Amino acid sequence: MSDTCTVKALPLVPFKEMPYTRPDMKAIEKGFADALSKFKAAASVKEQIEAIDMVQAINREYSTMASLASVRHTIDTRDEFYDKENDFYDEAGPLFSKLSNEFGAEMVKSKFRAEHEKEFGHQVFDLTDLSLKVFSPEIMDDLMAENKLTSKYSKLIASAQIEFQGEKRTLSQLTPFMQDMDREVRKAAAKAYYGFFEENEAAFDSIYDELVKIRTKIAKKLGYKNFVQLAYDRLGRTEYNAEMVANYRKQIYELVVPIAQSLKKRQSKRLKLDKVYYYDTGLKYLTGNAVPQGEPDWIVEQAKKMYNELSPETKEFFGIMTDYGLMDLLSTKGKAGGGYCTGFPMYKVPFIFANFNKTQHDVEVMTHEAGHAFQAYQSRDARLLEYGWPTLEACEIHSMSMEFFTWPWMELFFKHQTEKFKFTHLSGAFEFLPYGATVDEFQHWVYENPEASPAERKAEWHKIELKYNPSIDYADNEYLNRGGFWVKQGHIFASPFYYIDYTLAQVCALQFWVKANADRKTAWEDYLRLCKAGGSLPFLELLKLANLKNPFEEGCIASVTPECEKWLNSIDDSKL
- The pLDDT tens digits for 503-524 are 999 999 999 999 999 999 999 9
CA 242 to chain CA mean position, Å? 20
Please give the model's pTM, rounded to 2 decimal places.
0.92
What is the strand order of the sheet 340-344 is part of?
Answer: 327-330, 349-356, 340-344
The CA–CA distances, whole Å, from 350 to 7, 85, 266, 371, 572 equal 16, 21, 40, 11, 40
| Phi, psi angles (nearest 5°) of residue 339 | -140, 150
Residue 139 DSSP label: G
For 349, the enclosing helix (H) or strand (E) is: strand 349-356
Measured distance CA(231)–CA(292) in Å, rounded: 38
Neighbour tally for 183: CB within 10 Å: 14
Q: How many residues does the chain have?
A: 576
Compute the half-sphere exposure of residue 289: CA atoms within 13 Å on the CB side of its CA: 24
| Phi, psi angles (nearest 5°) of residue 117 | -65, -35
For 327, the enclosing helix (H) or strand (E) is: strand 327-330
**Buried/exposed code over 268-283 (b: 16+ C-beta within 10 A; e: otherwise):** eebbeeeebbbbbbbb
Q: Nearest-CA neighbor of 207 among 490, 498, 499, 483?
A: 490
Q: Is 37 exposed, middle or buried (0-12, 13-18, 19+ CB in 10 A)?
A: exposed
Neighbour tally for 423: CB within 10 Å: 21
Pairing relationship of beta strands 162-164 and 327-330 according to DSSP bridges = unpaired
Neighbour tally for 439: CB within 10 Å: 22
- The pLDDT tens digits for 16-65 are 999 999 999 999 999 999 999 999 999 999 999 999 999 999 999 999 99
| Paired strand residues for 490 | none
Contact 491, 498 (CB under 8 A): yes
Contact 413, 293 (CB under 8 A): yes
For 356, the enclosing helix (H) or strand (E) is: strand 349-356
Measured distance CA(276)–CA(281) in Å, rounded: 7
Residue 169 DSSP label: E
Q: Is 547 helix (H, G, I), strand (E, B) or coil?
A: coil
Q: Nearest-CA neighbor of 294 among 282, 302, 286?
A: 302
The CA–CA distances, whole Å, from 464 to 107, 357, 439, 456 equal 44, 30, 9, 12
Measured distance CA(362)–CA(369) in Å, rounded: 11
The CA–CA distances, whole Å, from 439 to 434, 472, 493, 502 equal 9, 15, 11, 11
Which ranges of 406-499 does DSSP label H, i.e. alpha helix?
410-414, 418-448, 454-468, 478-481, 490-494
The amino acid at residue 286 is L
The amino acid at residue 159 is S
- Between helix 500-518 and helix 520-533 the angle, nearest 10°, is 140
Pairing relationship of beta strands 167-169 and 327-330 according to DSSP bridges = unpaired
Q: Nearest-CA neighbor of 193 among 166, 174, 179?
A: 174
Measured distance CA(407)–CA(524) in Å, rounded: 13
**What's residue 6's pLDDT?**
57
The CA–CA distances, whole Å, from 477 to 480, 486, 521 equal 6, 14, 49
Contact 479, 194 (CB under 8 A): yes
Q: Nearest-CA neighbor of 5 among 378, 529, 349, 382?
A: 382
Measured distance CA(553)–CA(367) in Å, rounded: 28
Residues with pLDDT less than 50, the chain: 1-4
Report how many helices (DSSP H) and strands (DSSP E) the chain contains, helices first: 25, 5
Contact 130, 139 (CB under 8 A): no
- Alpha-carbon dihedral 191, 206, 488, 151, rounded to 10 degrees: -130
Contact 465, 436 (CB under 8 A): no
**What's residue 1's pLDDT?**
44
The CA–CA distances, whole Å, from 353 to 76, 170, 481 equal 12, 16, 33
Q: Is 162 helix (H, G, I), strand (E, B) or coil?
A: strand
| Phi, psi angles (nearest 5°) of residue 382 | -55, 140
The CA–CA distances, whole Å, from 281 to 104, 273, 340, 345 equal 49, 11, 25, 41
Residue 382 DSSP label: B
